[in-house]
Structure 1
Amino acid sequence: MATSRRRVSFTILCPTMLLIISISMGPGQFIVGNEAENDIIWGASEEDSVQQFTWNVTYGSRSPLGTNQQVLLINGQFPGPEIDTVTNVNLLINVFNSLDEPLLFTWNGIWQRRTSWQDGVLGTNCPIPPGQNFTYFFQVKDQIGSYFYFPSTGFLKAAGGYGGLKIDNRIIIPLPYPVPDGDAYLLIGDWFNANHTDLQALLDQGGRLGSPDGVLINGKGPFGEFLTVDPGKTYRLRICNVGISTSLNFRIANHNLTVVETEGSHTKQNSYENLDIHVGQCYSVLVTCNQAPADYYMVASTRFTVPVLNGIGVIHYSNSGTKVSGPLPPGPTTEIGYSIDQFRTITWNLTANAARPNPQGSFHYGMINVTETAVVEGASTAIDGKQRYAVNSISYVNPDTPLKLADYFNIGGVFSLNFPRNPSGSAAFLGAFVLDTTYRGFLELVFQNDESIVQSWHIDGYAAFVVGADGGRWTSASRGEYNLLDAVARSTVQVYPQSWTAVMLELDNVGMWNLRSQIWDRQYLGEQLYFKVPNPDGSFRNEADIPPNALRCGKAIGH
């Protein structure tokens, strides 16, 4: 198999008073202001910086595991182009759909303050029809960190179409560690040799996916990813699990991984020999190249599976004359306890600044009174003899009209606001139910897992404080175990088998937001819901108006 070699690079972004200049080469370019020819840039003032991209999404052929198959390309790239940006920049991404099926992109972990209109999921947006385009426009407001994007419609995620989305801090906000010598994304994920259309058809017929065929690193099979580093230097690796079903463990032979950030939160700088990364999660780690000149394995291996599948890449010291050989560095055992213990050590760095010049610990989330609680339980079920998944006995089905459009235009009969706040234990049924919340309330959200697998849940529009996790069923007495001081804030959380995980979030981002399983066959077959954070007075201060280019479909046609 051909080897892909690349040197870890570092992008330096230097802001002036109003202009951001990028010296990195890439598909995007910066502009300032609201240019007349770009009338799609609604709501941007002369002080706003806007970074523009144009994407053409097509099918292509690749053989990452040796089997030729159809994949998703963005501007001919697999994975898609990396987005490098800076806190508070506005992103304008014009997407041309050259596929033969509808398309949307979602921005995993991006808050999109005041505008769930840009979330890129079927509950908020009409999909881009084949042969047409749509321009996303949103601000990465008060965010830093490592994220990724991916296609959210159908089962396209199994075909690729994902890419890194990096948000650097502004120069005036110092990093809580020395500036690294280089920066690179490692997009790791399980992979199936079957085309996404075949996988989707299997699910539509009531089948199950089964085990993946392998693990990719940056879209490449064994030994395909080859990173060149310089001895003595320290690099920041942004590692995201972009797969569809499997928790992974990442490690580099003879090198420690110092975790410094996860999904926008600076963490305490603990070092690990290996790191569990569950589906949909991202971490930034520092790796110092302080070993003898040689080539070293980097491995992403499946967790809690039999057999264990390995994605293999190479870290190449620039002065190395020795190729990798011998056994792979060992990963952890299949025991859950190791993963749980590691999970509990990843906490907030209370003294570090985030996107603003005030310490993360200045937000005392543990002193805020909880105003509402919801317990959600995702479970495997069957409806009409076919495999489905449900949350609190409701298996979600996407209506023809996005919930956000129905809510905005007061179109009835699309969804119900009566999503149950606790599991009922009743038989599962199909529906589109929304959890109604209160603006500026403080929500305690508990994920209950009575299954034998590790579940992974994502909250669009928010980062939530992961305050507790334990075995058994959650009760009100479980609050006595909560970490109310330095729990990390993130958008994707794992729930261990026969266990619960509790998070807290301030409901300050108005909109209709997706709460979903990151395990994509479960999401596709109903393990998701939406929650509504209402705009109390209709003010544009709380939520931007509907974009002028918003697509219409279903009952919203003509509105």
Structure 2
Amino acid sequence: MPRMAPTRPCLALARWVLLAAVAARLAGADDPYRYFTWIVTYGPINPLGTTQQGILINGQFPGPRIDCVTNDNLIVNVVNNLDEPFLITWNGIKQRKNSWQDGVAGTNCPIPPGANYTYKFQAKDQIGTFTYFPSVALHRAAGGFGALNVYQRPAIPVPYPAPAGDFTLLVGDWYLAGHDQLRQTLDSGAPLPFPDALLINGMPSATLVGDQGRTYLLRVSNVGMKTSINFRIQGHALKLAEVEGTHPVQNVYDSLDVHVGQSVAFLVTLDQPPMDYAVVASTRFNPADTSPLTAVGTLHYSSATSLAPGPLPAGPPEESEWSMNQARSFRWNLTASAARPNPQGSFHYGTIQTSRTLVLASSAAVVAGQRRYAVNGVSFVVPDTPLKLLDNYNIANVIEWDSVPERPDGGAPRPGTPVVRLNLHEFVEVVFQNTENEMQSWHLDGYDFWVVGYGDNGQWTENERLNYNLVDAQARHTVQVYPNGWSAILVSLDNQGMWNLRSANWDRQYLGQQLYLRVWTAEQSFSNEYSIPTNAILCGRAAGLPH
């Protein structure tokens, strides 16, 4: 069972980086640069007692953790030593004016076998808990994922005392089958089976070590393929401290639901008698014919000599209402001075007039004889050339501009490459409508958004706006949508580029539950968007064109 001591060295490193960043700014230099070289290979892993082929980064599973500071420039040279194209996306990093570095199939050509690509991006105005993972070919099911933690600069204090240490926990469902076998399953028209296990940092369990009386920060990210989780610690309260890069009101919970693609951080005070306490993660909203998957770790007091008595802490009721009420209790901390979405006017999002409403209904569909997923009747098919390149070079007859209806129209399901055109600085309402009995998650690259409403009462209507939270709704980048329900968000489109709006449930994304938003203005300026990188890989119809 891997032992995870409090990360005091990481905090010391973060403080050193903070001092270096301040010194650099005083000297008139740019924000600090941090350089990484990642070698991506296949390699044996053994998370469940049986050797599997995993995807390793620098020989590690999960991949290396990035610790950086707000506004650091990250230079990550990814060398692909797999036998097929590979691509990494940075989940929750906004990529300000720089969708060229987003790392999804609509913005970047995959890195060919034996080649490399150097990502260059900035953790601009962000603080918090983020992740990265492979975005093509179902590689995510084999590994290649990791944590990306952004610490604050001294000038921007976070709204809680410095913890004694912090722990990063990557929790997610796992399959014994390889990614190629799972891909064949989906390509054949069959659904993915229920996962085989739940892992914490690539293993069935983990041990967290701390001192009695001290408070620690725990960062939990759901890096799984398709399953929501609930996280709890025997005998200890969880004080919510961060939700995907924003600071919430610090409510206290017995357990927390974390849906696919989401991250939360919370404070835990070791205020119990010094013993070993169970750390439990279990799957939520399981299919009727399955039992929950559970991973059990240990919170070890450094002076402990015995186990805490009693059974494992039970999970919450297996119902949408409990989870939805918890989600509604997440409120944005309006007094925190840390990084926030849409800094100008962000306190007043509820008074801004929306320019349009998109109601996006997901559904299972049969398209051209194959089982797929569709959004308003259109199932996304990845073109041979990234949409960003097609747009940059004005390559016609591939992108289907505005081909997704703004509301479901009952049309027959069809394949397509839909891109919704929006103007820079529009303020948009998006409603995600779940027409199925399966919990879903949706993610928007390049942005945070305000989650203003949830429902599990069937179809959304305009009357639901009367119950929106227009004062202190939680800002985040991934939102869950309950079975046969809806979730509503408001988003300020202040980041120009081509941005992926997708299901975070990776089997659904792979089979077409995604589209792209093109946020654009006719004014050409680096203050709006950077130009194509000189090292951009050009493929498909853009191969051989000048940068």
Match of 2:473 in 1: 487
What amino acid is the match of 1:124? T
- Matched position secondary structure for 2:471: coil
Kindly provide the amino acid, as one letter, of the partner of residue 9 in structure 1. Answer: T
CA distance in 2, matches of 1:117, 1:331: 42
- Alignment partners' CA distance in 1, 2:261 and 2:526: 32
Does the C-alpha gap of structure 1 residues 16 and 51 become closer, same or farther in structure 2, counting only changes over 3 Å?
closer
Worse overlay, 138-147 or 352-361: 352-361
Corresponding position of 2:484: 498
Give the count of matched residue pairs.
Answer: 536
Aligned equivalents of 1:56, 1:16: Cα separation in 2: 25
For the 8 Å contact 1:107–1:149, the answer to whether it is kept is yes
Question: Match for residue 295 of structure 2?
Answer: 311
After superposing the two structures, state which structure 1 stretch, 320-329 or 367-376, moved more. 320-329
**Corresponding residue number in structure 2 for 1:40:** none
Aligned equivalents of 1:558 and 1:415: distance in 2? 20
What is the CA–CA distance in structure 1 between the aligned matches of 2:342 and 2:363, rounded to whole Å? 41
Instruction: Indicate the residue corresponding to 1:415 in structure 2.
Output: 399
1:249 maps onto 2:230 in alignment: yes
Q: How far did residue 16 of structure 1 move?
A: 8.5
Q: Which residue of 2 aligns with 1:450?
A: 435
SS at match of 2:328: helix
Instruction: Tell me which residue corresponds to 1:69.
Output: 52
Matched position secondary structure for 1:297 = strand
- 2:4 maps to which residue? 6
Say if 2:341 and 2:449, in contact at 8 Å, map to a contact too. no
- Using the TM superposition, give the Cα deviation of residue 325 of structure 1 relative to its aligned residue in structure 2, in angstroms: 6.8
Q: Which residue of the other structure, out of 39, 47, 59, is the alignment partner of 1:56?
A: 39
Instruction: State the 1:299 CA deviation.
Output: 0.9
Contact persistence 1:146–1:165 (CA under 8 A): yes
Map 1:340-489 onto structure 2 (within 5 A). 340-355=324-339, 363-418=347-402, 419-470=404-455, 471-489=457-475
Q: CA 1:21–1:192 in 2, change beyond 3 Å: closer, same or farther? A: farther
Residues 19 and 358 of structure 1: CA distance in aligned 2, closer, same or farther (over 3 Å): farther
CA offset at residue 384 of structure 1? 3.2
Q: What is the CA–CA distance in structure 2 between the aligned matches of 1:406 and 1:533, rounded to whole Å?
A: 15
Q: 1:271 aligns with which of 252, 255, 259?
A: 252
Q: Which amino acid aligns with 2:190?
A: G
Q: Deviations over 1:302-327 (max 9, x none)?
A: 11113111011111111011146753
Q: What amino acid is aligned across from residue 4 of structure 2 in structure 1?
A: R
* Counterpart-to-counterpart distance in 2, 1:101 and 1:178: 46
Root-mean-square deviation (Å): 2.0
Residue 519 of structure 2 corresponds to 533
**Structure 1 294/393 Cα, relative in aligned 2: closer, same or farther at 3 Å?**
same
The code of the aligned residue for 2:192 comes to L
Q: Find the aligned partners of 1:297 and 1:92 in 2 and give their Cα distance.
A: 39
TM-score, length of structure 2 as denominator length:
0.95
SS at match of 2:266: strand
Give the residue type in structure 2 aligned to 1:101.
Answer: E
Contact 2:6–2:208 (CA<8 Å) still a contact in 1?
Answer: yes
- Letter of the structure 2 residue corresponding to residue 297 of structure 1: A
Amino acid at match of 1:7: A
- Take 1:17 and 1:484, find their aligned partners in 2: how far apart are those partners? 35
Which residue does 1:19 correspond to in 2? 20
Task: Please tell me whether the aligned partners of residues 353 and 359 of structure 1 are also in contact (alpha carbons under 8 angstroms).
Answer: no
> Which of residues 84, 92, 96 in structure 1 aligns to 2:75?
92
Counterpart Cα distance in 1 of 2:292 and 2:177: 20
Matched, 1:186 2:191: no
**Structure 1: which 4+ aligned runs deviate by more than 4 Å?**
15-18, 356-362
Q: Indicate the SS of the match to 2:500.
A: strand
Q: Indicate yes or no: 2:157 matched with 1:174.
A: yes
Q: What secondary structure sits across from 1:77 in the alignment? A: coil
State the shift of 1:137 in Å. 0.3
For each residue in 1:52-104, what CA deviation from the matched residue of structure 2 results, as whole angstroms up to 9, or x when unmatched?
11100111111212222111111111111111011111110000001111111
Q: Deviations over 1:230-257 (max 9, x none)?
A: 1111000010000001000000100111
Offset from partner CA, 1:352-390 (integer Å, 9 cap, x none): 112279999963111111011111111111123321101
Letter of the structure 1 residue corresponding to residue 446 of structure 2:
G
Q: 1:485 to 1:401 in 2, by over 3 A?
A: same
| Separation of aligned partners in 1, 2:453 and 2:118 | 39
User: 3-state SS of the aligned residue for 1:20?
Assistant: helix
The amino acid that maps onto 2:93 is I
* Cα distance per residue 1:437-469 (max 9 Å; x no partner): 111110101101111111100000000000111
Q: Do the aligned partners of residues 344 and 358 (structure 1) sit closer, same or farther apart at CA in structure 2, a change above 3 Å counting?
A: closer
Alpha-carbon distance in structure 1 between the residues aligned to 2:64 and 2:309 = 32
Kept after mapping to 2: 8 A contact 1:87/1:141 = yes
What letter is aligned with 1:316? H
Contact 1:473 1:500 in 2 (8 A): yes
Q: Which residue of 2 aligns with 1:41?
A: none
Q: 2:459 is matched by which residue type in structure 1?
A: R
Distance 2:33 2:86 in 1: 24
State the distance in 2 between where 1:289 and 1:524 align: 42
Q: Structure 1 CA distance, aligned partners of 2:130 and 2:309?
A: 33
Report the CA distance shift for 1:385/1:98 in structure 2 as closer, same or farther (over 3 A): same
Alpha-carbon contact 2:18-2:154 (below 8 Å) kept = no
8 Å CA contact 1:236, 1:285 repeated in 2: yes
Q: C-alpha distance in 1, partners of 2:343/2:526?
A: 29
1:462-513: per-residue Cα shift (whole Å, max 9, x none)?
Answer: 0000011112211222111111000011100001111111100111100000
Match among 196, 200, 216 for residue 235 of structure 1: 216
Counterparts in 2 of 1:299 and 1:357: CA distance versus 1, 3 Å: closer
- Give 1:15 deviation, angstroms: 6.8
Q: Which whole-Å CA distance do the structure 1 matches of 2:128 and 2:351 have between them?
A: 26
Q: Is the 8 A contact 2:398 2:417 kept in 1?
A: yes
1:157 aligns to what SS in structure 2?
helix
2:203 maps to a residue whose letter is K
- 8 A contact 2:334–2:347 mirrored in 1: no
